[in-house]
A and B are shown apart, each in its own frame.
Chain A
């Protein structure tokens, strides 16, 4: 084995495995990111006029741009409202499913289906369900005594719908994580709690939550990073409207870049989004990588 090693000294075997992916990602991820940073230092119109170097000007103008601030707040609002709801539903449904009964496998798969539905199709379907006159949900609401209204034309309701749509599509993701985690909880632990006469809530608080905490933490972080890039659903459902009611940060970047052609400004906002994601990512990566080390 030693001889083998010496013969290959010129080219460490680890490089053979690591290099292809590292080089590819370096070229197609790291380079564009540096380029985005470069662009963010310019007043850079997409068409026509010359670009001019303005240093950190784009970053400074973000703080004076009310639309930017509002779009960030709306995005944060979606995260803060949707993720906890998804977590709670996912958690309790996982506990519900943690028993054997005929058809449990197929039901479990069906419940997970929405997580695989194309975001664009999900957005369109919710738009249809809430359409005035013929939307099935509008129809049911009418039977229940609500007025026949265009849900997505009302700012508050449109914003709520963006959240409801995301909860519908993504609580199954939380469910999958927590259900997977539950499978790893030793059954004796739960049995022991039952024998001790521990009630339902007590078992959850004292036994399940502490054991599942790392799983839940990772699931929540995955969701936060993913919900920061929510785009197609909202783009086809409301297009950011009515007015600016559902103009989330992600839609605002796209609008600045491709409707207002402010490439430099959009790049600066991308950098901000990147910074936030990286902070969450490093934390997550550390967790996962270290877990695989042992």
Chain B
């Protein structure tokens, strides 16, 4: 019995150690965001330092970064609304109706979630160039929903599949139309799924780099591209990179600290249900 408790304590200590090692790089970002570039370049990385908000000040007063933040935010919100809305309709349709071609649509939707963004990079660039839409916010929204609609359907399928049909049958008897049933009965029941999907779609768009790099120039640059700009020609401004990174990490912190129950569910949806 005693041996068992000792093992238990050892294991818990191991968990703590693993966690600290795992988040060490993030702690480094936090610390560096309160240092000056000079302290990072010339100081001992582990020595004591007096925290300063200098880097945050520089980052926030740089229009390149704040404009990037604004674009990232606008794109993120639009992409989330469009993808989750269309995704919810499709996921409901796929779980509730039997019709010809259903399997084909289901398979192609679900497999397009796996299409690498990289495969669409060249055609998107060429098409947007042809239509004179390079460096424009709508192009980014289009490019981002291309992979987020299938992603949203993928995430929402299990949630809609688990809404009991008996509710709907009861409503049908009461004379409600399909439309009413969806908007008034099914959708409210699927709110947890919609929240999980929204969070993950937003993060997908917020973190995206490749399309932003290819499709935007100076005008409609997103924040992740603006962060890269701090690398400079020879001397990376690590303080600014870290401060800007901290601002970009806010959604991640919110999810991890306040929406714990959604995280595992969201990350492992295919796994748990499969």
Q: Is the CB of B120 within 8 A of A32?
A: yes
CA distance A99 to B116 in the complex (A): 37
Binds A, one of B54-62, B82-90, B190-198: B82-90
- Assess A253 versus B93: contact at CB under 8 Å? Given A119-B209, A215-B271: no
Q: B-facing mask of A260-294, CB < 8 A → 1, else 0?
A: 00010011001101100110111011111101100
Contact of B112 among A29, A120, A136 (CB under 8 A): A29
Which residues of B have CB within 8 Å of A129? 25, 28
Which residues of A have CB within 8 Å of B256? 109-110, 112-113, 116
Contact of B270 among A36, A232, A284 (CB under 8 A): A284
Q: Is the CB of A112 within 8 A of B40?
A: no
Q: Which residue of A lies closest to B256 (CB)?
A: A109
- Assess A114 versus B106: contact at CB under 8 Å? Given A1-B172, A270-B119, A284-B270: no
Which residues of A have CB within 8 Å of B41? 133-134
Inter-chain residue pair count (beta carbon < 8 A): 326
Whether, in the assembled complex, A97 has its beta carbon less than 8 Å from a beta carbon of chain B, the answer is: yes
Q: What distance in Å separates the Cβ of A34 from its nearest Cβ neighbour in chain B? A: 8
Q: Is the CB of A277 within 8 A of B12?
A: no
- Assess A110 versus B120: contact at CB under 8 Å? Given A20-B86, A118-B245: no
Contact of B45 among A21, A139, A253, A277 (CB under 8 A): A139
- Number of chain B residues close to chain A: CB under 8 A: 107
Q: Which 9 A-B pairs have the closest CB atoms?
A: A17-B93, A281-B114, A180-B268, A285-B110, A176-B267, A21-B90, A232-B209, A116-B252, A14-B97
Q: B residues within 8 Å of A by Cβ?
A: 8, 11-12, 14-16, 18-19, 22-23, 25-26, 28-29, 32, 40-46, 86-87, 89-90, 92-97, 99, 102-103, 105-107, 109-127, 142-143, 145-146, 149-150, 153-154, 157-158, 161, 172, 177-179, 182, 203, 206-207, 209-210, 213-214, 224, 227-228, 231, 236, 238, 241, 245, 248-249, 251-253, 255-257, 260, 263-265, 267-268, 270-274
Given contacts A128-B236, A136-B45, A270-B119, 16 further A-B contacts (CB under 8 A): A12-B97, A16-B89, A22-B105, A24-B145, A39-B122, A112-B263, A113-B23, A124-B241, A134-B43, A177-B271, A180-B271, A225-B114, A271-B119, A281-B110, A281-B114, A285-B113
List, sorted by A's number, 13 A–B pairs whose CB atoms are closer than 8 Å.
A20-B89, A33-B119, A101-B8, A113-B256, A114-B25, A117-B252, A118-B248, A120-B207, A121-B241, A125-B28, A125-B245, A181-B271, A278-B111
